[in-house]
Amino acid sequence: KAGVTQTPRYLIKTRGQQVTLSCSPISGHRSVSWYQQTPGQGLQFLFEYFSETQRNKGNFPGRFSGRQFSNSRSEMNVSTLELGDSALYLCACSYRGTGETQYFGPGTRLLVL
């Protein structure tokens, strides 16, 4: 079966702009989580969606938001980009939630100039 896909794979933006990243989970997987990876902070949880509802949220400012559609595809949005938002953004999916095996996508590498 097809794996987790993320688009775009690479993105360059300037400070103050906004960006939308997309994640399509494995078919049948209804839980989608987003993580930010930076050299300084490592892998940090952003939020989790299940059946179009945000179920958990990490400790990130309100500039970071997300949503999930009825087909389980998820998007995350970052508004008013800052230099520190440069990171690898990874999404993970599973059937029901974070208590089971998580499958990660290839990530979107965002560079903010």
Partner 1 sequence: GIQVEQSPPDLILQEGANSTLRCNFSDSVNNLQWFHQNPWGQLINLFYIPSGTKQNGRLSATTVATERYSLLYISSSQTTDSGVYFCAVSGNTPLVFGKGTRLSVIA
The pattern of x and - marking residues 15 through 54 that bind partner 1 according to CB under 8 A reads ------------------x-x-x----xxxx--x------
Note whether 57 and 76 are within 8 A (CB). no
Q: How far apart (Å, rounded) are the C-alpha atoms in residues 13 and 71?
A: 28
Residue nearer to partner 1 on the CB measure, 24 or 33: 33
How many residues make contact with partner 1 (CB under 8 A)? 24
Q: How far apart (Å, rounded) are the C-alpha atoms in residues 92 and 47?
A: 11
Quote helix, strand, coil % in the chain, to nearest 5. Answer: 5, 55, 45
Residue nearer to partner 1 on the CB measure, 67 or 104: 104
Note whether 70 and 50 are within 8 A (CB). no
Please, which of residues 70-99 interact with partner 1 by CB under 8 A?
A: 88, 90, 92, 98-99
Chain residues that interact with partner 1, rule: CB under 8 A: 33, 35, 37, 42-45, 48, 56, 58, 88, 90, 92, 98-107, 109
